Amino acid sequence: MTESQRAIPGLDGVLGVEHLEATPDKVVVRFTIGEQHLQPFGIPHGGAYCTVHESTASTAGQLWLGTKGVVVGTNNNTDFLRQAKLGDTITVTATPIHRGRTQQLWRVESAGADGRLVAQGQVRLANLDQEVPPDVVAALLGDRPADEG
């Protein structure tokens, strides 16, 4: 893992997600389809994509909102376009569609190594008026100061 890539705690850590890029305007992560991503029939579970989509959009949304509040997912709509297989590397990119005072909408795309879409969707976030500990945003940014994100 390079310096710009870092393991993520929690469910994304279980799924093997790595951050490649994290700014308030775009978050890019990657994971490789492993046994932990498969449904009982041996193909990738759609819930894995939904999970990574929401986490990626939420990370981007929180970076954009900063310490002004907390973002929470209110809708996750993911379409599955083609099947990946065990060992495939998936790159997930979240970009903003709308960022407002009370809500945000993010487009999320999951692509295989060939650049073809495997899944795509939108994640809507609510901006809650709740205090965020500065260390939460700092953890999302890694070693970069908040004004560089």
Spell out where the chain has E strands. 6-7, 18-23, 26-32, 70-80, 89-99, 103-111, 117-128
Asked if 20 and 28 touch (Cβ cutoff 8 Å), the reply is yes
**Per-residue model confidence (pLDDT) at position 143:** 53
pLDDT digits (tens, 9 = 90+) for 35-71: 999 999 989 999 999 999 999 999 999 999 998 999 9
Q: Which of 78-87, 88-97, 125-134 is the least confident region?
A: 125-134
Tell me the domains of the chain and their CATH numbers.
Answer: 6-144 (3.10.129.10)
Distances (CA, A) of 83 to 59, 90, 108: 26, 11, 17
CA atoms of 74 and 147, how far apart (whole Å): 27
The structure's pTM equals 0.84
Tell how strand 117-128 and strand 18-23 pair up.
unpaired
Q: Averaged over 2-10, what is the pLDDT?
A: 54
CA atoms of 146 and 67, how far apart (whole Å): 10
